[in-house]
Amino acid sequence: MTEPRSISDRPHFGTIAIRTERQINRTHAHIMPIYQSSTYLFDSVAHGQALWRGEEEGYIYGRLGNPNAEATARTIAALEGIRLPQTPYALLTGSGMGAVSTVLLALTSAGDTVISQVALYGATHALFTKEMARRGVQHVTFNGPCLDELEAALEQHPHARFVYIETPVNPTMALTDIRGVVARAHAAGALVVVDNTFASPYVQRPLEMGADIVLHSTTKYLTGHGTVVGGVIVTPHEALYREKLLPILTNYGAVAGPMDAWLTGLGLKTFHLRMPRHCENGLAVARFLEQHPAVARVNYPGLTSFPQHDLANTQMDAYGAMLSFELHGGYDAAVHVMNSVSLCRLAVSLGTVDTLIAHPASMMNFKTPPEERRRMGITEGLIRLSVGLEEVEDIIADLDQALCSI
């Protein structure tokens, strides 16, 4: 939970990443301790009442907030809002899906309509298509890159509550024009929610482009070391934060515990150093794959061959380290490459220090019906790579030997 601060007294990105926890850690411990406690003591009835009434700052009970979650949320808010006039508000959650579900629950009631891109992270897609319907909320989709489709959806559903996007999207890396979505949604009175997990605030900050809510799976780049499942919600709107998001998070209870919050806080201290290396390695691997004879296509926003490279240059500060590539040999070739790599690790998840490789058709999207997979751009020979921080020559050598052995 964060309070706004003026831009004039704000330090630079890396300093924010390392030092923001000091606003909460007022002990003499150099590094913020882990406050592994489920409840907090009141000095007196008057003290307890002051805390409950919000007249005094402090902690009451773990589900309502803890110092580690507050310090980490504040750091992420300061990074997402580095160029905003006021630091936004943020809430740390127990998973990325905890952030998504809190936002969906907070913003919808029975009878509402919500709009999202077609292609979304699998569990988010399930919440929109199954849970929203169960709660009497109508869900309408548009093809992410196509703003005309969004305009048509907004015209047909003029009372839509919000437009939800993910950019770059998993696993095709297709981009959605954040400013274009914001202009159209706001003109129709709808909020804009952006899942910024694939990019991270080092690469892209949607709140600066007018989005109303940014959320993340902090499991990925923000923690960075593969040690935590977590999430965060960031918004510049105080009423949305206090009256909708905070009560839903604390009442439904998808909160982050102290240990996980602390680990994400630790990861954030090197975020500004990890990200440039991630991005450099991502670009080098994408260029290598692009010229490899076994590879039909590489999806990476930093390549000039990427159809939305110009859009990437207008809304991203760097190109990140997520990419996918299509093999000429289809499904069998993809399985062969997956079984032939040794440095790249076979796993879902992404944004960790080591390189992770995944095959959507046999792994995370194996249940998606073929027609829907096609609509999402997930082909049989598509491989997703989360490029890590190893020496890039070693990552390339591993991929090369696997591709050459097809």
Ligand X SMILES: Cc1ncc(COP(=O)(O)O)c(C=O)c1O
Distance in angstroms (rounded) separating the CA atoms of residues 193 and 210: 10
Q: Any idea which residue has 């490899």 for tokens?
A: 292
Distance in angstroms (rounded) separating the CA atoms of residues 126 and 122: 6
Q: Is 101 in the site for ligand X (CB under 6 A)?
A: no
Q: Which stretch binds ligand X (CB under 6 A): 13-21, 77-85, 121-129, 267-275?
A: 121-129
For the bound state, the minimum distance from the C-beta of residue 158 to ligand X, rounded and expressed in Å, comes to 28
Residue closest to ligand X, measured at CB = 96
CB of 106 or CB of 402, closer to ligand X: 106
- Find the binding residues for ligand X in span 154-173 (CB under 6 A): 166, 170
Task: Record the tokens describing residue 341, joined without a space.
Answer: 């790599």
Q: Is 259 in the site for ligand X (CB under 6 A)?
A: no
For the bound state, the minimum distance from the C-beta of residue 123 to ligand X, rounded and expressed in Å, comes to 6
For the bound state, the minimum distance from the C-beta of residue 22 to ligand X, rounded and expressed in Å, comes to 27
CB of 219 or CB of 324, closer to ligand X: 219
Binding test (CB under 6 A) with ligand X, winner from 24, 32, 97, 248: 97
Q: Is 197 in the site for ligand X (CB under 6 A)?
A: yes
Binding test (CB under 6 A) with ligand X, winner from 2, 108, 167, 219: 219
Q: CB–CB of 249/91 below 8 Å?
A: yes
Q: Is 64 in the site for ligand X (CB under 6 A)?
A: no
Q: Are strands 295-299 and 231-235 parallel, antiparallel or unpaired?
A: unpaired
Binding test (CB under 6 A) with ligand X, winner from 70, 195, 260, 380: 195
Q: Is 386 in the site for ligand X (CB under 6 A)?
A: no
Q: Kindly report the backbone phi and psi dihedral angles of residue 324, in degrees, each rounded to the nearest multiple of 5, phi listed first.
A: -135, 155
Name the catalytic one among 5, 40, 59, 63: 63
43 annotated active-site: no
CB of 347 or CB of 406, closer to ligand X: 347
Name the catalytic one among 184, 220, 269, 373: 220
CB of 20 or CB of 223, closer to ligand X: 223
- Find the binding residues for ligand X in span 226-255 (CB under 6 A): 229, 231
CB of 114 or CB of 402, closer to ligand X: 114
Task: Record the tokens describing residue 92, joined without a space.
Answer: 């740390």
Residues 124-153: x/- map of binding to ligand X (CB under 6 A)?
Answer: x-----------------------------
310 annotated active-site: no
CB of 97 or CB of 344, closer to ligand X: 97
Q: Which stretch binds ligand X (CB under 6 A): 9-17, 93-101, 102-110, 390-398?
A: 93-101
Closest-CA residue to 285 (of 171, 362, 168, 391): 391
260 annotated active-site: no
Closest-CA residue to 340 (of 274, 402, 248): 402
For the bound state, the minimum distance from the C-beta of residue 194 to ligand X, rounded and expressed in Å, comes to 11
220 annotated active-site: yes
Distance in angstroms (rounded) separating the CA atoms of residues 289 and 141: 33
CB of 95 or CB of 315, closer to ligand X: 95
Q: Beta-carbon neighbour count of residue 146 at 10 Å?
A: 14
Report, as residue numbers or ranges, the catalytic residues.
63, 121, 195, 220
Which residues contact ligand X (rule: CB under 6 A)?
95-97, 121, 123-124, 166, 170, 195, 197-198, 217, 219, 229, 231
